[in-house]
Structure formats: structure tokens, C-alpha cells
Amino acid sequence: MTKISFEIQQQIIQCFGLCFHYKDTVVSFMQTSGVLNDLILKWKSEPKFVWAKNVINELNKTENGRSIIRRIATEFYKMKNISDEVQDRDRGLDALRKLKRLIGDTQQNKVNETLNNSYHRSRQEMKIQLKQQLLQKIEELKTEYYSLFSSDNPQERGYRLEKIVANLFRINDIDYHDSYRNRTNTQQLDGYFRFEGFDYLVEMKWGKKSSKFFENSFFKTKS
């Protein structure tokens, strides 16, 4: 469980010293907050500031005690006014308002932290999901590619190969243009893509043997 800030604890002590006139009222307030009677009465003879400080210090020693400090803070937060008998009501009200402001800021910070963690968690989950989708699409393209080896139709096989390559570019967010013929319909380009400001032509051919690219006469005729 998150510890209560030192600043809030010090302000709780201020509220005990400034928001009550009678010590019996302090006793009732502590009892309502869950403080054990033995602990309440142990320092009752001390001034209210010292009394509250000793009780808070003792409560800080255990997790259950820190939970009681939170209940004390909650009870102060719910207070709408202080008794008319308080010697300096303005100081008391100022102390109470400051404590409420500190508690409110802490609660808002927790909300912001939760929202921030949720945002980053959602982004991370989205990244993982997108990566999984990309891997799945690549796997599907790989399966599609392997299926071409069983095709006996060269024209269909070439067309499907062009589609596989085009989809491979697109799933990697690279702008790709499908195959097209020139205006005189004398030559076909299998596609082209733009990457980092440059245009690249794509040429594909299904062959039984591995090509040596520049030594391949097929590519020489395209130049």
C-alpha cells in the first residue's frame, strides 16, 4: 500500500492542533478514525500538536497503523466546518483547507498516473497486436508463395507472384504501384515503389534456376 506523504502527515498534525478546542473532541475524532484507546490516551496530557505527532509516529510503524492514518485524513477531508469554540477559527479553517488541497492533489496525481499507465499499456498492447498481425500476414504470403510451386499455369503464377510482392511492400507501409504497360503497349513493368525519395522499378521473372541478376540476359533486354 502506498505511504502517505510526509507533507500530508504534517498537515494532519496541524489540523489536530488548530481545528479542535476540547481534547475530548480529539478523542472522539481519533476513535471514529479507528485509533485504539490505549494509543489515544497515552499522550492525551500533552499539547494537541505533540499528542497528534506522537500518535501519527506510532501509527506509522505498522501497515494497519498507516491505514488508520488514511482514515484520519479521510475524516478531516469530510469535515465541512470547525467548532465555534476554536480559539483561532481562521487558522483552523486555513489548515483544514490546505490538508484538503493536499489530499485532492494526491488523488488527482494517482488518477493521472493511472491514466498515464493505462495509455502506455494500451500503446504497448497495440504495438504487440500490430506486430502479430504483420507476422500473420507475412506467414500468409509465405504460404501463398509456396503454393506457386504446384501451379502449372505460368501466366497465373506470374500474376499471383506480382500480387504477393505488392502485398509484401504494402504491409511494410511502402508505397507500391502494381504492374502496368507503357502507352504503346510494347513493354510491361512489373511495378515500382518509392523509398526515401527515390523511385525503384521492380522486375520479376519465375525461373527454374537462380538468376545472376546483371548477367541475366532477361534483365539486359529490359535496360
Mean of all residue pLDDT scores within the chain:
82
User: pLDDT over 90 for what percent of the chain?
Assistant: 33
Residue from 114, 98, 110, 13 nearest 55 by CA: 13
What was the pLDDT predicted at 219?
47
> CA 169, CA 25: separation in Å to the nearest integer?
76
- The answer, yes or no, to whether residue 72 has pLDDT greater than 60, is yes
pLDDT tens for each residue of 164-203: 888 888 888 888 887 766 666 556 677 878 787 788 888 7
Tens digit of each residue's pLDDT (9 = 90 or more) over 10-41: 999 999 999 999 999 999 999 999 999 999 99
Separation between Cα atoms, residue 202 and residue 179, nearest integer Å = 9
113: Cα within 13 Å, side-chain hemisphere = 6
pTM for the predicted model, two decimal places? 0.49
Does residue 220 have a pLDDT over 60?
A: no
Mean pLDDT over 3-11 rounds to 88
189 neighbors 180 (Cβ within 8 angstroms): yes
What's the alpha-carbon Rg for the chain, to the nearest Å? 38
| The pLDDT value given to residue 152 | 81
Among 172, 168, 171, 176, which residue's Cα sits nearest to residue 143?
A: 168
pLDDT interval class at 57 (50, 70, 90): very high
Domain spans of the chain?
6-112, 151-202
